[in-house]
Amino acid sequence: MIDTLAFSVWDTDLRRGSSLKERLDMFTERETALFTGDWDGTPCNDVCFLSFDDCGEPVIRVAQFARRAGESLFLMLVSDRSSDLTALFRPGIRPSGVLFRPVKNEHLREMLGEIADEMERLTGTETDDVFILRYEGSSRRVLFREILFFEAQNKKVVLHTAGQEIGYYDSIENLSAVLPPYFVRSHRSYIVNARKIEEMRIADMEIILTGGVGVPCSRSQRDAVMDAMAGVRS
């Protein structure tokens, strides 16, 4: 299952990050995303490698951003043995493991194997708080509490969280039948998580979700959305 994993690398050193990316690309059929400097977005990935020299504020900020983007993300730290990693072991980051440089290929393969096994175990565990989607020959688990809304785009559905957009083949109609009742159709192309609604702007026919994200609300769905809002707040 390693070859279906999606990786991303953030490194304070672009050349070093490129080297790690090339090694990870050997294990998977999917392109590894590489970032350095300010990280203004999180790609759809299963494992994020944070590589750094000093555990300063920029690294902590990126780690917190990555964790907020996905609670089920495997967050791996890569650093020198002399680095003090204490600041990264906190509830808002929750790293999944540590690799010390120089990283040997056998250690990298072993770690990826453990991640793949854990992902396979979790994917096979059906729970009421997890949405499982399948795309590009792999499975992905996303906690319902992370999901803001679903959006239909052409023949795909895009799942939106605070930090990720995951596109896969499905339809809004199919989703309406399988999602928990607090997910409500707000528009022919949108399903929103009523637990994430902050405000209903009736005059603008717009819903404001957590983080200030706006999605449209059609007149025909207005009452259904308001009922859903009342249901989650009662």
Where do the structural domains in the chain lie, given as residue ranges? 2-123, 130-233
Query: Which architecture, in CATH terms, is 2-123?
Result: 3-Layer(aba) Sandwich (3.40)
User: Can you tell me the distance from the alpha carbon of 5 to that of 98, in angstroms, rounded to the nearest whole number?
Assistant: 18
Statement: residue 180 has pLDDT above 80: yes
| Neighbouring-strand partners of residue 207 | 200, 215
pLDDT tens for 24-39 read 999 988 889 898 876 6
Angle at 44 between CA 205 and CA 13, to 5 degrees: 125
Statement: residue 125 has pLDDT above 60: no
The pTM (predicted TM-score) of the whole model is: 0.65
Contact between 184 and 166 (Cβ < 8 Å): no
Q: What is the mean pLDDT of residues 116-128?
A: 68
3-state SS assignment for residue 31: coil
Statement: residue 219 has pLDDT above 80: yes
For residues 55-70, b (16+ Cβ closer than 10 Å) or e, as one string?
beeebbebbebbbbbb
Contact between 148 and 209 (Cβ < 8 Å): yes
Contact between 198 and 209 (Cβ < 8 Å): yes
Angle at 143 between CA 149 and CA 90, to 5 degrees: 120
Do 2-123 and 130-233 show the same overall fold? Answer: no
The set of residues, in sequence order, having a beta carbon less than 8 Å from that of 105 and lying 6+ positions away, is: 23
Angle at 228 between CA 72 and CA 135, to 5 degrees: 35
Q: What is the pLDDT of residue 39?
A: 66
Statement: residue 231 has pLDDT above 80: yes
CB atoms within 10 A of CB 41: 11
Q: What is the pLDDT of residue 1?
A: 67
pLDDT tens for 136-155 read 666 677 889 889 999 999 88
User: Can you tell me the distance from the alpha carbon of 24 to that of 161, in angstroms, rounded to the nearest whole number?
Assistant: 26
H-helix segments, the chain: 14-25, 57-69, 105-123, 172-178, 222-233
With a pLDDT cut of 70, the percent of the chain lying above it is 91
User: Can you tell me the distance from the alpha carbon of 208 to that of 223, in angstroms, rounded to the nearest whole number?
Assistant: 16
In Å, how far are 89, 155, 186 from 93, measured between CA atoms? 7, 35, 33
| CATH number for the domain running over 130-233 | 2.40.50.1020
